[in-house]
Structure 1
């Protein structure tokens, strides 16, 4: 069973950072976006990382931006028809790795999101070729930066956790993973047994979790206890050496109330064990 620690998420906005640090989290994940990669944006992000580290936070995760010019930062993107997107993905990963190495943090990169841009598949003959290209991209990044990268699952089949054959193949690659519980639960259409099997199959690869509830139908990002995930069943299947945060939709970005409620729920579940 994992030790119950408080993991919170915020942008580099000073008000958001202060609102999280007042609760003394052990894990802090920074959500970044396109604006963070200007000269001023990177300076602001670095200052926020320093503030969080000086506050005594043990584990810092830097989440790669989801979008560039309204397009998802899919690592499947190919320079033959998406060169500008590929250039942004690569340069922003490098910027985050520079900060991660300087401040002993991890960079979280999505293997995939929801595949809303069909042109991403254009350079490939079929989905298997596309998946192999994607895995080669991930492995190449990992081999260059083995100590600072983790790769998160999405809800699209090219890099979605939960399907046993793919999970076992992925486990053999030794790629360091970030496992979003809700993404797998949605991909599996609410199948708890399959979710627990997936957590076991990938357990040794997982370095970080996003603990998020869901009804198992869409990307709803619910507070723990408000969805259909059986958290009492999930807890024993998590890697006790991994970190985690509560990646929950907030009504007010300067008030992590839903993240804190999720933590209290998990503490309560753990207390009953």
Structure 2
């Protein structure tokens, strides 16, 4: 049985045309701050509808990672970063409204891999920032319903792979996005721990980022060029979830590394069924 083909692009017409030639099942828009201005949101709506008209039934909007070259930490203190904080919330609420109107998914990062001093700016300690983060995720889950998913990183605030934290996240009933390489990196290349996390969180995962890694840093490798045990991982993926290949491209207008990764994973899937 063919695996889902999921591809990622910006709103650039050349990138979209390149991805659509492969007839993907899933399309993820990687957004930047310019895409969430009033005009940018109008363009984005048009692109969503254009992609849907070309047969794509599952569409994900990846919330902008940065504002003025600084990460948009969901836990950030309003006092410490008032303008960035306002942008975070305005963009999140505007994109969530669009996602609900267009019946697509909004992906929000629980955290990024910023230094501790950045994560704790405006807070007494990391625990306080963590409490704020989970309260905000609770709120977004409440208002986002079936149109929001939260992605893990290698940040100490929101990551997968720690059995106790995985159980706590599972108990929250969040709709999750699981970036496999982020978990693998956080676990320093431990495939067994990665697979346990996939198994634990699987029922609540609604979207996967499929990407290989050597397990040391954020390297975004095509499948088969890193150390992730894909034959062990593949059977643990939630079959009801969507997925995209989030690998680094040599040319953003050419998805060849994504397509090669898909072919590799399909080969793994075929071999498991043989």
Residue 149 of structure 1 pairs with residue 169 of structure 2: no
The aligned counterpart of 2:174 is 175
Query: CA shift at 1:117, angstroms?
Result: 6.9
When residues 268 and 119 of structure 1 are mapped into structure 2, their CA distance, relative to the original with a 3 A threshold, is closer
The aligned counterpart of 1:165 is 164
- Aligned counterparts of 2:234 and 2:26: Cα–Cα separation in 1: 18
Please tell me whether the aligned partners of residues 184 and 228 of structure 2 are also in contact (alpha carbons under 8 angstroms): yes
Per the normalisation by structure 2, the TM-score is 0.97
Cα-Cα RMSD: 1.2
The aligned counterpart of 2:31 is 32
Query: CA shift at 1:40, angstroms?
Result: 2.6
Tell me the SS of whatever aligns to 1:207: strand
Residue range with higher mean Cα deviation, 35-44 or 5-14: 35-44
The aligned counterpart of 1:252 is 251
Please tell me whether the aligned partners of residues 116 and 126 of structure 2 are also in contact (alpha carbons under 8 angstroms): no
Query: CA shift at 1:44, angstroms?
Result: 1.8
Tell me the SS of whatever aligns to 1:109: strand
- Aligned counterparts of 1:58 and 1:45: Cα–Cα separation in 2: 16
**Runs of 5+ in structure 2 lacking a partner?**
none
- Aligned counterparts of 1:260 and 1:129: Cα–Cα separation in 2: 42
Please tell me whether the aligned partners of residues 210 and 246 of structure 1 are also in contact (alpha carbons under 8 angstroms): yes
What does 1:63-142 correspond to in 2, within 5 Å? Answer: 63-116=62-115, 118-142=117-141
Query: CA shift at 1:160, angstroms?
Result: 0.9
Tell me the SS of whatever aligns to 2:183: helix
- Aligned counterparts of 1:3 and 1:204: Cα–Cα separation in 2: 22
Please tell me whether the aligned partners of residues 185 and 216 of structure 2 are also in contact (alpha carbons under 8 angstroms): yes
Please tell me whether the aligned partners of residues 207 and 241 of structure 2 are also in contact (alpha carbons under 8 angstroms): yes
Per the normalisation by structure 1, the TM-score is 0.97
- Aligned counterparts of 2:245 and 2:120: Cα–Cα separation in 1: 32
The aligned counterpart of 1:210 is 209
- Aligned counterparts of 1:209 and 1:249: Cα–Cα separation in 2: 16
Tell me the SS of whatever aligns to 2:27: strand
The aligned counterpart of 2:184 is 185
> How many pairs align?
272
Residue range with higher mean Cα deviation, 226-235 or 117-126: 117-126
**Runs of 5+ in structure 1 lacking a partner?**
none
Query: CA shift at 1:56, angstroms?
Result: 1.1
After TM superposition, which residue ranges in structure 1, 4 or more long, deviate above 4 angstroms? none
Please tell me whether the aligned partners of residues 119 and 126 of structure 2 are also in contact (alpha carbons under 8 angstroms): no
Please tell me whether the aligned partners of residues 3 and 240 of structure 1 are also in contact (alpha carbons under 8 angstroms): no
